Structure 1
Amino acid sequence: MTRLFVLLATLLLPCIATHTPVVLWHGMGDSCCNPLSMGSVKKMLEKELDGAYVLSLMIGDSIASDTTNGFFMDVNAQIDFACNVIQKDQNLQNGYNAMGFSQGGQFLRGLAQKCPQPPMKQLISVGGQHQGVYGFPHCPGSWFVCKEVDKLLDLGAYTDYVQNHLVQAQYWHDPLNEEKYRKHSKFIADVNQEVTLNPAYKQNLMRVSNITFIMFNRDTMVIPKESEWFGFYKPGQAKELMTLQESDIWKQDKLGLREMNFQGRLSFLKIESDHLRVPEAFWTDEIIPRLKN
């Protein structure tokens, strides 16, 4: 009987996934399971990673609510929801790699800072806006949803009502009024340590082994696109840009990114295309090899 068990285990061993599980978080206007976007990415990763477990986060109890929650559910509540899902998933208890698309990139980074268990081993941010945005050129969603977004932003991004009801307002970063931004931003100013310093945010983020920031060099969605590399406008105007390395986040090492970079744990990659237009070769050459490590 023992010999039979050993034989069966040997035969089944090649079928057991050997790569780290992957957690995906979609962007604005998308959902966990859209067969033309995240559903396709999930299937591709499962194939390329030899059957590894891939979880595409559904924020809510249905695909429809997942999509609308990307516009109207408080970001911190979304992170709490994702943390609960991940902590209950037995496939993720030994750790996972995370890949976020557009706003999913900064949400996963917030997850790493606020929900350190189980451990996020690696973070790949695909067009995430880590310094926020200052403008929405077009809205990828239904006509009704986009009209609601416009209406709320017209009321003022930093009013309590809009901050409580519009996701995108929570990472709206107005360089013309940094004081109001720091005072009223419910999400991005907090996780970037621009309100108060939370030692756990830095400690937890530094537990991630590697972080990759991917910027789309012809991005027409994200303003400014340099936010995808943690860059942004210099305070007081909206023309001249500063890099991550010129910011207080780096100079004061509020998130541990400077130390991680010194240790060779940060990567900054660029794609010569529009927002979330990832060429097949880039998947093969840059993303898949990282997820196989």
Structure 2
Amino acid sequence: MPLEEQVKTMSELNEGYNIVGLSQGNLVGRGLIEFCDGAPPVKNFISLAGPHAGEASVPFCSTDIICKLVDMLIKSAIYSKYLQDHLAPAGYIKIPTFEKDSILIPKETSLFGYYEDGSWSTILPAQKTRLYIEDWIGLRTLDEAGKVKFITLSGKHLEISLEDMKKYVLPYLKINQTTATLKTMDTSSSINKVTDFSKLEDLLMKTPR
């Protein structure tokens, strides 16, 4: 049964639910929000390091010739039916002639920012992109209503301190939370980090409702 149909049959979600997206899992969350008509409402979507505006290169590709060749071959055929069907990131990859050794390229994609058309050095913030200006997915509408929070955290990809988790994630997951909000987080440098998200469940159990 497709995921969009599964959530419609889950009685525990009838009054609405929250989504916490991790990396490309954010695209699954967005799929539920954007395309799942007739499903229970999503109260809060908390996005951590999601490739919302696209991915510019293959992550962790080093400077050696073999890796460069693989990167080039994948990019040249990224829109082929085979790769679209079998390579997980293919559906959102974009193709500038640029590469860096990191997960999100550019890291601003987690905040809906991306390279300016025709340039691989100038990065536009979300508010300067066509996606935002033309309101393709309702991001501008939500932002102007004060329902979007853009936050930059210390930490590499999906590395977040417990204090930041308590400050920026937990308040939106409380049972009595009713205000719908989209929170996007860029976790792009390194300091005081934690990658074990099983601790999130422990924190939730200890948080007063």
Q: Same fold (TM over 0.5)?
A: yes
Q: How does 1:237-256 map to 2 (within 5 A)?
A: 237-256=119-138
8 Å CA contact 1:94–1:118 kept in 2: the answer is yes
Whole-Å separation in 1 of the counterparts to 2:54 and 2:121 = 15
2:158 to 268, 276, 279: 276
Change (3 A) 1:150 1:233: closer
Q: Which residue of 2 aligns with 1:129?
A: 51
Greater percentage in helix: 1
TM-score normalised per structure 1: 0.52
Q: How many residues align?
A: 163
Tell me which amino acid in the other structure corresponds to 2:142: M
Relative contact order, CA 8 A, sep 6+: which one is greater?
2
C-alpha separation in 2, matches of 1:289 and 1:123: 12
**TM-score, with structure 2 as normaliser:** 0.71
The match for 1:262 among 140, 144, 149 is: 144
* SS of match in other structure, 2:5: helix
Instruction: Please state whether the residue corresponding to 2:169 is helix, strand or coil.
Output: helix
1:236 aligns with 2:118: yes
**Which residue does 1:46 correspond to in 2?**
none
Post-superposition CA distance 1:39-64 (Å, at most 9, x none): xxxxxxxxxxxxxxxxxxxxxxxxxx
Deviations 1:215-269 (A, max 9, x none): xxxx931111100000001112322111111111121122222121111100011
Note the 1:112-261 alignment, pairs <5 A: 112-116=33-37, 117-138=39-60, 153=74, 156-175=77-96, 220-261=102-143
Shift in Å, 1:286 = 1.2
Pairwise CA distance, 1:138: 2.7
Amino acid at match of 1:257: L
Q: Distance in 2 between matches of 1:97 and 1:251?
A: 27
**CA RMSD after TM alignment:** 2.3
4+ runs of 1 displaced by more than 4 Å? 149-152
- How far apart are the structure 2 equivalents of 1:110 and 1:125? 13
Report the alpha carbon displacement of residue 112 of structure 1 after superposing the two structures with TM.
Answer: 0.3
More divergent stretch after superposition (282-291 vs 80-89): 80-89
Whether the 8 Å CA contact 2:58–2:71 is kept in 1: the answer is no
Code of the aligned partner of 2:33: A
Report the AA paired with residue 134 of structure 1. A
Cα drift, residue 152 of structure 1: 7.6
1:95, 1:257 → 2: CA distance? 20
DSSP-derived class of the 2:2 partner = helix
Question: Letter of the aligned partner of 2:133 in structure 1?
Answer: K
How far is 1:167 from its partner?
Answer: 1.6
- How many angstroms apart in 2 are the aligned matches of 1:154 and 1:109? 24
Alpha-carbon contact 1:155-1:162 (below 8 Å) kept:
no
Q: 1:259 to 1:285 in 2, by over 3 A?
A: same
Cα distance in 2 between the residues matched to 1:86 and 1:124: 18
Q: Which has the larger radius of gyration?
A: 1
Q: C-alpha displacement at 1:155, in angstroms?
A: 5.9
Closer, same or farther: CA 88–151 of 1 in aligned 2, 3 Å: farther
What is the aligned partner in structure 1 of residue 2 from structure 2?
81
Distance 1:262 1:154 in 2: 36
Aligned equivalent of 1:95: 16
Aligned 8 A contact 1:98 1:120 in 2: yes
